[in-house]
Amino acid sequence: MTDGIPAAPGTEGWFREGPDGFALLASRCTACGALSFPPRTVPGCPDPGCESLDQSPYPLSTTGTLWSYTDARYAPPPPYPRPPDTEFSPYALAAVELAAERMIVLGQVAPDVPAEVLQVGMIMELTPGTLLSSAGVEERVWNWRPAGPSEDSYPDVAAYDAYTGEAHA
């Protein structure tokens, strides 16, 4: 990454930051176009009807519709990576549907977004995030956050306004 924060272990090659911004990278079959995320680490198309072995990185959409979410208010059991002597912070996980790719991508919701503002059907956008390893080292991951209100894409403009401190008509 350009900011020097390394990818979390096991996620190397899953995202990139470049001139077009932060993007998740899928594997795309060069023969039929089938996508898989996370990217495949073995040769071969994810479509059982395709015999191609070739795939290339493919940047996914950076916005999608919140399909589902959960609010994690308890500390996961070990081996949850967390530096010793730090308090657990609740977090939310989002399942975001990327319409263009017809795929759902899971990810943590940005830590500054309270679960109370999340609503199924709202538009979410991809953003870089970090986790703190058990050794206290920042590691790059991706997060989802509300993209902003609109009549068609955000069911509860008042909740978004309360979260951002803005007022929308």
pLDDT of residue 157 exceeding 90, the answer is: no
Average pLDDT over residues 132-161: 73
**What are the start-end ranges of the H helices in 4-156?**
none
Q: How many CA atoms lie within 13 A of 121 on its CB side?
A: 9
pLDDT band at 153 (very low <50, low <70, confident <90, very high): very low
Chain segment 89-129, per-residue pLDDT in tens: 889 999 999 989 999 999 999 999 999 899 999 999 999 99
The number of residues in the chain equals: 169
Write the pLDDT tens digit of every residue in 32-70: 999 999 999 888 999 999 999 999 999 999 999 999 999
pLDDT at residue 149, as a whole number: 62
Query: Cα(39)–Cα(14) distance, rounded to whole angstroms?
Result: 6
> Which segments of the chain are extended strands (E)?
15-18, 21-29, 35-36, 55-59, 63-72, 91-98, 103-109, 123-132, 138-146
**H-helix or E-strand spanning residue 159:** helix 157-164
pLDDT of residue 17: 83
The pLDDT tens digits of the residues spanning 12-24 come to 999 988 777 899 9
The model's confidence at residue 26, banded by pLDDT at 50, 70 and 90, is: very high
- 3 touches 129 (CB < 8 A): no
Domain extents in the chain? 15-146
Residue scoring higher pLDDT (169 or 99): 99
